[in-house]
Amino acid sequence: MPEGDSVYRAALKLDQALHGATVTRFELRVPQAATIDLRGEIVHEVLPRGKHILHRIGAHTLHSHLKMEGEWHVYRRGERWRAPAFKARAVIGATAPDGTEWETVGFDLADIAVVPTTDEDTLVGHLGPDLLADSWDPVDAARRLAADTRPVHVALQDQRNIAGFGNEYVNEILFVRGVIPTTPASQTDAAALVDVGSRMIRANRDRSGRTFTGDSRPGRSTWVYRREGRPCRRCGTPIRGGSLGADPTRERIVFWCPNCQR
């Protein structure tokens, strides 16, 4: 599943193309929204909210979530799509104020919905503080995390606590802070975890290649994520792997160093 920084960059690219543009084509290829037509409306902005993308168009908001495989592409009108048309779930054509004609396409999207912009909270109001928003509130985020008694690996990924962290970030945060993934979140230094995590994701926000170690070369960018059986970069102990989740249907792969994380 895309992390918050990936969603941020996707929304920024969409906004750069569509901001202030007039919609000329609006197709949602999902049954619950297939008849909605926003042609002729102005795109006010496209923005991320945690892992969600919101297109504010006229008086309405188009909401989408990338889930595991979704992605938005931006094309000049007439440019060949880089994914099969049968995977397209949303197509927005628009003419920018400078006359440029754009076509943005959402492939394999999930949770598509259109609501009045005044009702956006019905879709994203449950989310916790947004890591990459101007309104980011680390104190509230730490408070929510500290009140969660579940394993910290699970609590950090709960978007109701903090909006934006995914599995890769959580594994790396816990390594850097030396915390075992199964530790109850309520027994950790929640403020320190939030601080490290927010600095990580903000540092990666504008990078084309994500890194946690400071080295962006292939195979060198992570401390523990997907490094099971390989030596810890700090102490040489083999990295361990397993899975954790809020329930059996939401388990995520987890990695840790048994020596550095205690």
Catalytic residues, by residue number, are 2-3, 51, 252
- Collapsing DSSP states into helix, strand and coil, what is residue 7? helix
Helices (H) and strands (E) in the chain, counts: 6, 10
- 73, β-bridge pairs: 105
CA dist 194 and 190 (Å) reads 6
Whether 252 and 244 have beta carbons less than 8 Å apart is answered as yes
- Collapsing DSSP states into helix, strand and coil, what is residue 145? helix
1-20: burial string, b at 16+ Cβ within 10 Å, e else: bbbbbbbbbbbeebbebbbe
- 26, β-bridge pairs: 92
Type of residue found at 224:
V
